[in-house]
Structure 1
Amino acid sequence: MSEPQFPPLLTGLDAEGRDPFALACEMAEAGCDGGTLVHSVRADRLQAAVIFAPEVPLAEAAAVLVVCGVGLQNALGALAPPEVAVHLEWDGGIRVNGGACGRLSLAGNTRDPEAVPGWLVVGLDLTLIRLAEAPGETPDVTSLYDEGCAEVDPVGLLEAYARHMLVWLNRWDDEGNRPLHAEWSGLAWGLNGAAGVAGRSGVFIGTDERFGMLLRDGETTHLVPLSALVEEGP
């Protein structure tokens, strides 16, 4: 398997058997610079974690989760067969042709929406092949192989993810949330369906300008900020 090549703004690091997300969080807490991409590519699973060094409060910076989600969708859109549909759940889940195929996670050193994080890490965990289950046993769970993506090279996908993520990161930095929101809204999974997050439940009717989830419960609309998804770092 070839070593992945990343754009100059990113520094790749092989996790060497460790969980890239956990390792990246440890590195970020120890003072590692933003722009490090820790990765692990196995036959059945693609994992990656990107370290970010935000300069804005968490309420705004949490949008890097959306940046990475859109970057992944664009990368798969470019490499997978045209009939493969990729959607993004608000809380980080990844859907391929409707089946759960992995997820994105967000961690940082603060959960205070008004504080500027010392670091944020977005982790990617994508199922390439299901080794333990046969298709049909769990119809809501899938893999890229099950959905006709056997020809997608995992290393090439990792490289494409890095490129597309950087494109959207730069666009978000230059243009703000509007174009990112427009792109993500067309990929959102579960709109107008029942949802429950952070102790709130209702009908998922969309998001606010900072990607906070809007849940309609009768005549009441609850807002769950994207920062509620942040996991505490080590």
Structure 2
Amino acid sequence: MNRVMFPPLMSGHQVTGDEDPFLTACMKAAAGCDSGLIVYNLAPDTLLAALVFAPEVPLADAMTMLPVCAVGFQNALGALAPPEVAVHLEWGGGLRVNGASCGRMRAAASTSTPTEIPDWLVVGFELPLWPASADMGNTPDQTALYAEGCADVEAPLLIESWARHTLNWVNRWEEEGTKPLHAEWRGLAHGLGEETAQGDVVGVFVGVDEQFGMLLRDENTTHLFPLNTLLEDL
């Protein structure tokens, strides 16, 4: 077992083998565990972690924890990786390293009703450390962390850094609202100003609303996709 140190108000639970820490975190959350629990798996080729929240606001506002955790991840990796490594965030949770897809953020909650205060919310990430295939030329839009000049980034330290940076952004969100988070996220967002598709809707990704819902503008109107549409069904 690799020991990972967590900041105050957070605790860790390591799992091994094929156990998915995201699903384990959801089960522990549903059973009433404390918020701030991080379940993680230091697998040889993939790093997985999930953080449990106990929101005190309706789901529509609580879903801000998804971009909070994503920005926390970007800040964490940015602090540990070489300065030339670029880390960006897709609205839908995808992670980008040097422009290529490299893992994802994901979220689940006790409810999918935007106006309801959830009993729990879990946000996690999956990060490939090594490529699935030695021939990466077949998948130029897919990469892995250690294929992008980050071989010195140790997985336990990345989880520790993610915990610290995420906690910092949670505190800022509580004290200052969404404005600082919006400014930070917008500078990291992948695909802003570009044509993209969300379901059957194709349009230009023009930004996000106050609750980080995606704004997609086509020829006729601007469509809003709330963050809670990204919740996973367990």
TM-score range, shorter chain: over 0.9
Residue-by-residue CA offset, 1:40-81 (whole Å, 9 max, x unaligned): 012211100000000000110000000000000001111100
| Structure 1: stretches of 5+ with no match in the other structure | none
Distance 1:104 1:19 in 2: 14
Verify the 8 A CA contact 2:16 2:42 in the aligned structure 1.
Answer: no
Verify the 8 A CA contact 2:88 2:190 in the aligned structure 1.
Answer: yes
Q: Quote the residue 2:11 is aligned against.
A: 11
Percent pairwise identity: 56
Amino acid at match of 2:149: G
The number of residues matched between the two structures is 233
| Aligned 1:166-177 pairs, distance under 5 A | 166-177=167-178
Q: Quote the residue 1:57 is aligned against.
A: 58
Distance 1:129 1:88 in 2: 20
Distance 1:154 1:27 in 2: 23
Q: Quote the residue 2:106 is aligned against.
A: 105
| Aligned 1:146-185 pairs, distance under 5 A | 146-185=147-186
Distance 1:231 1:176 in 2: 26
Distance 1:91 1:102 in 2: 12
Distance 2:137 2:77 in 1: 23
What is the DSSP-based 3-state SS (H/G/I as helix, E as strand, rest coil) of the residue aligned with 1:232?
coil
Verify the 8 A CA contact 1:192 1:205 in the aligned structure 2.
Answer: yes
Q: Quote the residue 1:95 is aligned against.
A: 96
TM-score (norm 1): 0.96
Deviating 4+ runs (over 6 angstroms) = none
Distance 1:63 1:213 in 2: 12
Q: Compute the displacement of 1:3 (Å).
A: 0.8
Q: Does 190-199 or 92-101 show the bigger shift?
A: 190-199
Q: CA RMSD in A?
A: 1.2
Distance 2:229 2:123 in 1: 14
In 2 relative to 1, CA 194–133 (structure 1 residues): closer, same or farther, beyond 3 Å?
A: farther
Distance 2:218 2:65 in 1: 28
Distance 2:176 2:162 in 1: 21
| Aligned 1:1-234 pairs, distance under 5 A | 2-17=2-17, 18-233=19-234
